[in-house]
Amino acid sequence: MDTSALATAGGPGTGLPGDGQEAAARGRRRALDPAVVVALVLSVAFVLIAIVWPVLAVIGAALTDGAIPIFQRYLSPPQNQILVNTVVLGVVVATVGTAIAFLFAFVQVRVPANRWLKRVLHVIALLPIVSPPFALAIAAISLFGRSGMITRDLLGMRVDIYGLPGLTLVMSLSFFPVAYVSLMGLMRALDPALDEAAANLGSSKLRIFRTVTVPLLLPGLASGFLLLFVEALADLGNPLVLGGNFTVLSSRLYIAIIGQYDMLTGSVLAVLLLVPSLIVYFVHRYYAERASVVSVTGKPTGRPSEVSGRPARAMLLGAACLVAGLIVLLYGTIVVGSFTKLLGVDHTLTLRNYEAVLFGYGTKAVTDTTLLAGLATPLAGLLGVVIAFLVIRGRFPGRGALDFGTMLGVAVPGTIFGIGYLLVFNVPVQIAGFTIIPKLTGGAALLGGALAILLVYILRSAPGGLRAGAASLQQIDPSIEEASISLGADQATTFRKVVLPLIRPAFLSGLIYSFARSMTAISAVIFLTTPQIRIMTQQILNETDAARYGNAYAYCVILILIVLAAIGILSVLVGSSTRAERTSGVNVGASR
């Protein structure tokens, strides 16, 4: 046997002296590859400048001597009621939203029903993801408000939907899809052998559900609960539209900055909002990591135990269909309202709402939002997978810090980034007389504030690509990349021609997430818009405040259609590229 050949191959476990030397050489080549160094420097610079610096600026502004009386005021009665309201809203929305998510996931996995019905329920459950989070709030006012078509006209009741009840309704329906997708995946990963073993021991299906299924899903349920809790704390649009006298930290913070121009109070309230958000985020990550215990038994064999009793099936399907019907009713109200003069008062059909949005003063908002979201999507998607590659495949100190810094983009409420950007980037940053970072916000900002909004879009969207890319990279054998490097390809070529094709589904997921999140963002960008830049979500809020509900509905419909069209285009482009690579022989099977 030619030992020199083995030493050159550097195969693991050969025990030859060349093994360690070759492995060390590969590690040095990867560590010193110029493409890796450039990617690392750019990624770290983005995280520090666009994410960490604004957050630290808000914290620094809230830790001055003048902020102490403000902390005391909002932590003492009666002003501390705002903090209590925020926590109560978060707990209630998280509880109701997680329950709805569990119901839909359980119906999809454990309740026998026609396949078409399950598909319809699945599509309806995902509708809130592609629409502004406060779109349902506007529809709820028309249907269930004091002059609602259902409450007043149909039932003869005068109901006050403003406050905690209305917020619980619309926010639970808006945010439950986030927990629903993860819970459905966890349920499908459960090993059916566990149910079969319990059944063989004589346990009833109800007892199996209570003692086997629910305990295995507890980490996933806790993770979903905490995620919805953070979403409820950070949301700004719904409290502004439907909050009424029920004031929460996000809406009070908005009033302090926009209405009172009080940056110090806004910073204090931002810190009060930041602390519980970060605590819950850390706890959520703990439970999210533990959620993988449901699939450690290996590949599931057999079919999961399904609900067999007719009354139970009818009750579960009926409950899911009832919630889905409510979602369809709300979105149907948005569509119908966009074609009427004033829904609930004058139902005359008209196209004036769309004329105002598409050909009037709303045209700039549509074009500006779509353009900025279109620019942010590839940048955020690429940044997400690059950081995922650095974190998973990198061999440098601080990988965990890079991952954590990027994830702060979703862990920190958007309102805090809005205030942070005003504090940091409202004047040019200069060093030794040279402008290092130009002014990004304000009326005279670079590109009229568009650059600040673009950065916010990227930092809020990149974590989705990071998580999807990291999950895909962990399933790919590093030896595939090492083979490319050993054949002479540099790290950039390997990443472009080997890694990206292998993680293409994750890359597509990151692109879709980025575009949808950018188009529907409101919490941060509402502080950064200028007369030169208009954003659709802010225009929807403005139209709602002015009681021009028809225009607001038209904006919502157009925004949803743009997001759906973008998803279709991205799927076709990525799918076509994948088929072209397979035709040319560049695919996973050929590589292996």
* CATH number (domain holding residue 291): 1.10.3720.10
In a domain, 259, yes or no: yes
Q: To the nearest whole percent, how much of the chain has pLDDT over 90?
A: 37
Q: Are 220 and 293 in contact (CB under 8 A)?
A: no
With a CB cutoff of 8 Å and minimum separation 6, the contacts of 138 are 241, 334, 540, 544, 549, 552, 553, 556
pLDDT in tens, 98-115: 999 999 998 998 888 888
CA distances from 204 to 11, 107, 532, 539 (A): 53, 19, 65, 55
CA distances from 86 to 161, 249, 496, 560 (A): 18, 6, 45, 29
d(CA 461, CA 457): 6
pLDDT at 109 (0 to 100)? 86
Strand partners, 434: 431
| Token pair in block for residue 86 | 């925020």
| Domains held by the chain: number | 1
Report the pLDDT value the prediction gives residue 297, as an integer from 0 to 100: 45
Q: Residue 88's pLDDT band (boundaries 50, 70, 90)?
A: very high
Please tell me which residue, 504 or 352, carries the higher pLDDT value.
Answer: 352
User: Structure pTM?
Assistant: 0.83
With helix as H, strand as E and coil as C, how does 228-262 read?
Answer: HHHHHHHCCHHHHHHCCCCCCHHHHHHHHHHHCCC
Distance of alpha carbon 481 from alpha carbon 525, whole angstroms: 40
- Average pLDDT of the chain to the nearest whole number: 82
Q: Domain residues for 321?
A: 64-337
**Residue type (1 letter), 548:** R
- What is the DSSP-derived secondary structure letter of residue 346? E
Nearest to 171 by CA among 90, 54, 52, 285: 90
Number of Cβ within a 10 Å radius of residue 546: 10
Of 506, 502, 500, 520, the residue nearest 566 (C-alpha): 520
In this structure, are residues 134 and 237 in contact, taking their beta carbons and an 8 Å threshold? yes
Q: Does residue 284 have a pLDDT over 80? A: no
Residue 18: is its pLDDT beyond 60? Answer: no
Record the tokens describing residue 39, joined without a space.
Answer: 């990617």
Of 591 and 127, the one with more pLDDT: 127
The verdict on residue 354 lying in a domain is no
**pLDDT, tens digit (0-9, with 9 covering 90-100), for 221-270:** 888 888 899 889 989 999 999 988 899 999 999 999 988 888 899 999 99
Q: Could you read off the pLDDT of 200-209 as tens digits, one per residue?
A: 666 666 777 7
Rounded Cα distance, 48 and 55, in Å? 10
In a domain, 182, yes or no: yes
Q: What's residue 436's pLDDT?
A: 64
In a domain, 83, yes or no: yes
Report helix, strand or coil for 202. Answer: coil
Question: Is 88 inside a domain boundary?
Answer: yes
Q: What is the mean pLDDT of residues 562-572?
A: 88
Tens of pLDDT, residue by residue over 412-461, are 998 999 999 988 887 766 665 556 666 777 666 655 678 889 999 999 99
249 Cβ neighbours under 8 A, 6+ residues apart = 82, 83, 86, 233, 269, 272, 273
Domain-located, residue 219 = yes
State the pLDDT at residue 1.
39
Q: What distance in Å separates the CA atoms of residue 284 and residue 248, rounded to the nearest whole number?
A: 22
In a domain, 215, yes or no: yes
Domain assignment of residue 452, yes or no:
no
Torsion angle, alpha carbons of 192, 195, 199, 203, to 10:
-170
Cα separations in angstroms, 471 against 391, 503, 574: 11, 9, 19
Give 288's pLDDT tier (boundaries 50, 70, 90): low
Q: Residue 416 in contact with residue 274, Cβ under 8 Å?
A: yes
Residue tagged 């204090």 (tokens): 268
CB 10 within 8 A of CB 19: yes
Q: What is the pLDDT of residue 101?
A: 93
